[in-house]
């Protein structure tokens, strides 16, 4: 997995980002390989992407390597994480939050979203704060 693969995503005019419609997601990632309720699963080598849709817009994106070791996705490199944040985070500035655990966290420059790299699962999740509040209340 490398920066070249992620850089190819930058060349596409389509928006597969927080706030994107399903059509915009499909423009960059292709047709979903699976649908499960509000979740759309994509395979865009070398990544797997799961997008949550709410009222027609993506409010959460989970990205992880399609390559696995021992049944878990391979870790994303520092470079991959940086580019993925830019591509899938709608070009926002991402501000690292001090580490409180082994996970890494960033807040968006506008304060409306955050990202977390879950080290144990090797996945990067970008989420709007509205989606997080709904999730905490147990609402889809």
* CB contact at 8 A, 48 and 61: no
Report d(CA 63, CA 122) in Å as an integer: 9
pTM assigned to the model: 0.83
Distance of CA 84 to the CA centre of its chain: 7
DSSP 5-47: HHHHHHT--S--STT--HHHHHHHH-S-SEEETTEEEEEETTE
Digit-by-digit pLDDT tens for the chain (140 residues) are 444 444 444 444 445 688 899 999 998 899 999 999 999 999 988 899 999 999 999 999 999 999 999 888 999 999 999 988 988 887 788 999 986 778 999 999 999 999 999 998 999 999 999 999 998 888 65
Domain boundaries, the chain: 3-136
Instruction: Please state, in angstroms and as integers, the Cα–Cα distance from residue 110 to each residue in 29, 55, 89, following that order.
Output: 26, 21, 11
């Amino acid at each position: 997995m490398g920066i070249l693969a992620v850089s190819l995503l930058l060349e596409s005019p389509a928006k597969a980002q927080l706030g994107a419609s399903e059509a915009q997601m499909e423009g960059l990632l292709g047709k979903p390989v699976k649908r499960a309720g509000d979740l759309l699963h994509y395979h865009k080598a070398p990544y797997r992407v799961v997008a949550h849709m709410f009222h027609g817009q993506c409010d959460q994106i989970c990205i992880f390597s399609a390559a696995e070791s021992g049944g878990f996705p391979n870790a994303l490199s520092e470079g991959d994480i940086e580019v993925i944040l830019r591509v899938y985070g709608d070009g926002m500035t991402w501000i690292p939050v001090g580490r409180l655990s082994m996970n890494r966290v960033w807040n968006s420059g506008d304060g409306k979203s955050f990202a977390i790299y879950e080290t144990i699962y090797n996945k990067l999740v970008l989420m709007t704060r509205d989606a997080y509040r709904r999730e905490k209340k147990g609402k889809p």
